[in-house]
Amino acid sequence: MNRKELIDSIANTTGASKTDVQEILGAALDGIVAAVAKGEKVSLAGFGTFEPRERSARTGRNPQTGEPVQIAASTAPAFKPASAFKDAVNS
CATH architecture of 3-81: Irregular (4.10)
Phi-psi region of 46 (alpha: psi -120 to 50; beta: other; left: phi over 0): left
How far apart CA 85 and CA 69 sit, in angstroms, is: 38
pLDDT digits (tens, 9 = 90+) for 1-39: 999 999 999 999 999 999 999 999 999 999 999 999 999
Amino acid at position 29, single letter: L
Taking a C-beta distance cutoff of 8 angstroms, is the pair 16, 23 a contact?
no
DSSP run (H or E) holding 79: strand 74-81
Where in the chain are the domains? 3-81
Nearest CA-CA partner of 34 in 46, 57, 52: 52
Reported as a pLDDT band with limits 50, 70 and 90, residue 69 is: very high
pTM: 0.82
Q: Provide the pLDDT for residue 7.
A: 97
pLDDT at residue number 8: 97
pLDDT the model gives residue 62 = 95
